[in-house]
Structure 1
């Protein structure tokens, strides 16, 4: 039996990279770096980074085509508004990307998937800057 052209559904990026497990690993490695970062750690007022880790994991999973749990629990992401209370300058941007680079590399994704993910992280980090310096 032949499958008609165009009838196979395209996999989402979320599915292509391995789903929830991949995003949870990405965020876990990222926050391992943040935990010891003197510039970034103070931006997380909670004693435990677990809640921040959970929020980022849910956001990224939803963004890349996974479950909509983030919006169901927290509403629209409104990332700039949620980060507005914190001073995000070039140094914070660079520190964030340093830890995210290590996290992305730890996934060992296919080059084209890795590049797509990294391009988004660079864009997201740039868009969060809200202070000179």
Structure 2
């Protein structure tokens, strides 16, 4: 069984996805304020993060500091639920645009991760939230329909 990373096309597909996605963000009235001071390498960093979470190389952990670093990038940002939803929707639209696999099994796994991860980003971005103790990188695998439990 291929990993989600392999199924979606690896680093080239993720870099294409996030490059295109973050090209759209400055023109989005809900998301532009969140990413107003975005690092020029942001798309590549997020591609490495998602790649590692989906079973690819441990690039984000070895070059960016892993889960603890990712959490630190969200602290104090005050991301709203409306911004979170827009991020998820725009990313799904961009996945369609760049040709990520559209089979239901992959999309269930992909969207499941986007929902889970973006909800954590909202929690960690709340005022007064502090960086928690270091944790391992999350990993995400294929979603299973309830009847396959």
- Please classify the TM superposition score into its range, dividing by the shorter chain length: 0.7 to 0.9
Match runs of 1:1-133 below 5 Å: 10-46=1-37, 50-78=40-68, 79-106=70-97, 107-109=99-101, 110-130=103-123, 131=126
- Asked which structure has the greater CA Rg, the reply is 1
Q: How many residue pairs end up in the alignment? A: 122
Q: 1:19-52: CA deviations, max 9, x gaps? A: 1111112212221221211232222243x66311
**Structure 1 gaps, min length 5:** 1-9
Contact 1:97 1:121 in 2 (8 A): yes
Contact 1:30 1:100 in 2 (8 A): yes
TM-score by length of 2: 0.71
Aligned-pair Cα RMSD in Å:
2.1
**Structure 2 gaps, min length 5:** 128-149
